[in-house]
Amino acid sequence: MTTDIPAHPAEHALSRFVDKAETMARDEPAKAVAAAVGAGVVLNILPLRFLVASASAVTLTMLRPALLTLGVIKAFELCTCHRKPSHE
């Protein structure tokens, strides 16, 4: 018995990333090696704590304006969707 469970969007994103990385490695191997070495150097030089702290700081900084913007957009949608049509 097989069930067709749709794949999670993160799985699609990861598979697209892997496909692009494989294509880049085949088409431009020198760039792929340079990118891998660069990522390895960054991960070895910078402590993981610094990388996580930077990512969380940027996320938290952008979270409040993003939520405010989404709230304003939703309020605007609610105001415009529930208006009764005028009889002109």
Per-residue pLDDT at 5 exceeds 90: no
Residues 28-67 pLDDT 10s: 999 999 999 998 888 888 888 888 898 899 999 999 999 9
pLDDT of residue 23: 92
pLDDT in tens, 61-81: 999 999 999 999 999 988 887
| Predicted structure pTM score | 0.43
**Residue boundaries of the structural domains of the chain:** 48-82
SS3 content of the chain, % helix, strand, coil (to 5): 80, 0, 20
Q: How many CB atoms lie within 10 A of CB 25?
A: 14
- For the record, the structure tokens of 22 come out as 């494989």
